[in-house]
Structure 1
């Protein structure tokens, strides 16, 4: 019997609670507990845990402009386990994490989506262990229903604008250049 299985019975209730998060398996929950510990008081906020684990977004600012930055190195074992869990959550059906993965992957790519969903899983883990609560999934329709329904309807159901053609065609921008070139007489 592996050492992890022999040492996990005192943390069995936390492992079972973490197993309810989409994408997190028993093995991933054991890695989270093994790397962070069951006592989350060493991390004052969930952001501190994410920063320590290296699952927070990078921040690179130069000359007042914000550029994308690389994530920190962090804990490689925890990052790997959260990456696997995030990829698995991205393939789950009708969950908040799947909607978040799809939303980010379509705009920024799958690798950034994996880091973002892994960050969300880690933040949820911190809250579940600290507050002794169960995972509450927001649902796949979270991003569709979080705005005011009237504003959402106005934004998605705008009346079509009639296409207006100009009353006279615009001249070619180089027309005047061609007009000023003397023609060659043979």
Structure 2
């Protein structure tokens, strides 16, 4: 992992970038603005964004005025509602810029309980998409009015919160 000192040195032109993208249109997803820019990367970190020319880089990429956007994050979705596996979901969204998603596996929990949630987590391993999960908290959604096949209680929620890849409550 590249340290802060090395990132600063590269940004100041004192260290070689791993990759330098020149002539790109950088999309700022917060403001909606588009900037003509050059971008320097060291290791897996962006450490330079500006109009300066490349200082030195192992790989130089001419963007030819194409657009460069950061990886997009979908912060709440239901993979199983798409009727595909996590792998097929990743194959569908990655080409459109989604690099990270946080899924609420509520539907599979309704049918299979905590074992369904564990299966979703297991099936998300090894993907190019970073897929995290929320722990479903109300299964079934309307106790006493529906019988979907499973129930999740407080102990199940506590167990799910300890699972690798579960970020919090859904």
Q: Which protein has greater RCO, CA pairs closer than 8 Å, 6+ apart?
A: 1
Q: Which has the higher strand share?
A: 2
Tell me the TM-score normalised to structure 1 length.
0.20
Tell me the TM-score normalised to structure 2 length.
0.21
Q: Which has the higher helix share?
A: 1
User: Which structure has the greater CA radius of gyration?
Assistant: 1
